Amino acid sequence: MAESEGAEKTEQPTAKRLQEALDMGNFARSPEVSTALMLAATVLVLTIMVPRIFETFKLYMVGGFAQISRPTLDSDSVMAIFSNFMVHAGYCVLPVMGVAVITSLLSGGLQSRFQLTMRVFEPKWERLNPWPGIQGMFQTRSAVRLGVSVLKLGVIVGMTYPVVKELVQDPVFHATTDFNHLLHFMAATAQTVGIRVLLGLVLVAAADYGYQLWHHQQEMLMTKEQVKEEQKGSEGNLQVKGEFKKRRRDLLRKKWLAEIPKADVIVTNPTHLSVALRYDRGSMGAPRVVAKGSRFNALRIREIAKQHQIPIIENKPVARMLFKHCREGQEILPQLYAAVAEILAYVYRVNRYRYYTQGQQLPA
């Protein structure tokens, strides 16, 4: 095992290893993707809601100034002003917050392929040890995270600087302006800067997620020894399953060797299905299925029937219905009584001497 851990990882990860990593919550993830999606959703919602936000803000300002202009202010009036502010603020802010939360969950689900695992909530006491965290500060991944942060800051500054430089020339910073102009200026500025920042974050998120995907793929690489060990485990499982199948076939063959010779007729498809039927008027209320099989098993049933001179009748519709709706060891369905009765009547009529020598009571 020590040799495999020190060996070079050159083999692509198997499907089992990838699934185990996904179950443990180990997959390529980038917080920049979540940030970019949240900002995109926020900008979209604010763009849609800007007219209503303006109207709500205007109504609040008018009502607020009207209450403040009252001669006296007491605790009740102050609470009313505060309650009014919270209602209007919630009307404007809560939709944006709700969309941001939903987008955050959606972005996490997209990166994890919506695979839910409870193992990430299991307590890991080694996380309380500060030494691995101190060591991690000097690892490549920490340097990459620092580089991404610096790149993000540079891209955002580079994307927004021309816009901010132009906005500073607006009259709102140099002269008295109308209140409506101030509101429109704030909305336009927020939208323009938000779009610029969003474009920058999209570029950073794409680069960071690409790196995380590549890094995760490198971590998942396996040594040749690990691949061999996993193949041995898989082959062992296949051997166990094969042994179970062999035992099941042996038990089924022994059962058929005991039951099929007692059958009265074999109804076939003719090659894909075989159903063995037995009927004893003295002990059965209806014909019973003693064996059934498809393909190779159907051929095996016919071989046993030929060895014991059991009549084989080809009837495709009846064979299909018996195979699909009737179980071994159980009586046939009432819907099949008439069809099976015709088959048994023909078999008894043609092979009357055989059933007479067996001492079986034939229908009149």
Instruction: Look up the CATH number of the domain holding residue 325.
Output: 3.40.1690.10
How far is residue 143's CA from residue 120's CA, in Å, rounded to a whole number? 25
Are 177 and 79 in the same domain? yes
Are 317 and 192 in the same domain? no
Structure tokens at 223: 């040594």
Are 56 and 159 in the same domain? yes
In single-letter form, the type of residue at position 319 comes to A
DSSP labels, 134-185: HHHTTSHHHHHHHHHHHHHHHHHHHHHHHHHHHHTTSGGGTS---HHHHHHH
Dihedrals φ, ψ of 314, to 5°?
-90, 120
How far is residue 104's CA from residue 96's CA, in Å, rounded to a whole number? 12
User: What is the pLDDT tens value at each position of the chain, 364 positions in all?
Assistant: 444 455 677 777 777 777 777 766 677 777 888 888 888 888 888 778 777 777 777 777 766 666 665 556 666 766 776 777 777 777 777 887 888 888 888 887 777 766 666 555 556 655 566 665 555 555 666 677 777 778 878 877 887 888 777 777 777 777 777 767 776 777 778 778 888 888 888 888 888 888 888 887 887 888 778 777 776 665 555 566 666 777 776 676 777 778 888 888 899 987 789 999 988 877 888 898 988 888 888 888 888 888 888 888 899 999 999 988 888 888 888 898 899 889 888 888 877 656 555 555 544 4
> pTM score > 0.75 for this model?
no
Number of domains in the chain: 2
DSSP labels, 52-92: HHHHHHHHHHHHHHHHHTSS---HHHHHHHHHHHHHHHHHH
For residue 16, is it within any domain? Answer: no
Residue 255 bridge partners (DSSP): none
- Judge contact between 16 and 164, C-beta under 8 A: no
Contacts of 140 (CB under 8 A, 6+ apart): none
How far is residue 364's CA from residue 122's CA, in Å, rounded to a whole number? 74
For residue 316, is it within any domain? Answer: yes
Beta sheet of 288-294, edge-to-edge order: 288-294, 273-278, 265-268, 312-314
Residue 288 bridge partners (DSSP): 278, 331
DSSP labels, 115-136: ---SGGGS--GGGG-HHHHHHH
How far is residue 225's CA from residue 259's CA, in Å, rounded to a whole number? 51
DSSP labels, 291-340: EEEETHHHHHHHHHHHHTT--EEE-HHHHHHHHHH--TTSBPPGGGHHHH
Stated length of the chain = 364
3-state secondary structure of 265: strand
3-state secondary structure of 73: coil
How far is residue 242's CA from residue 222's CA, in Å, rounded to a whole number? 28
Q: What is the pLDDT of residue 267?
A: 92
Query: pLDDT tens digit string along 25-59?
Result: 677 777 888 888 888 888 888 778 777 777 777 77
If one counts every other C-beta atom within 10 angstroms of the C-beta of residue 97, the result is 12
Secondary element (H or E) of residue 216: helix 179-220
How far is residue 291's CA from residue 287's CA, in Å, rounded to a whole number? 12
For residue 70, is it within any domain? Answer: yes
In degrees, rounded to 5, the angle at the alpha carbon of residue 69 between the alpha carbons of residues 66 and 70 is 100
For residue 173, is it within any domain? Answer: yes
- C-alpha pair distances (Å), 190 with each of 42, 135, 175, 197: 11, 41, 21, 10
How far is residue 351's CA from residue 360's CA, in Å, rounded to a whole number? 12
Containing domain of residue 318, as a range? 263-357
Residue 266 bridge partners (DSSP): 276, 312
How far is residue 17's CA from residue 233's CA, in Å, rounded to a whole number? 13
Q: What is the pLDDT of residue 364?
A: 47
Are 96 and 174 in the same domain? yes
Domain boundary among 222, 248, 281: 222
Taking each helix axis from N to C end, the angle separating 179-220 and 140-167, rounded to the nearest 10 degrees, works out to: 160
Are 342 and 217 in the same domain? no
Are 295 and 210 in the same domain? no
For residue 10, is it within any domain? Answer: no
Q: Is the dihedral of CA 53, 59, 64, 65 positive or negative?
A: positive
Residue 273 bridge partners (DSSP): 294
Are 84 and 217 in the same domain? yes
Are 176 and 321 in the same domain? no
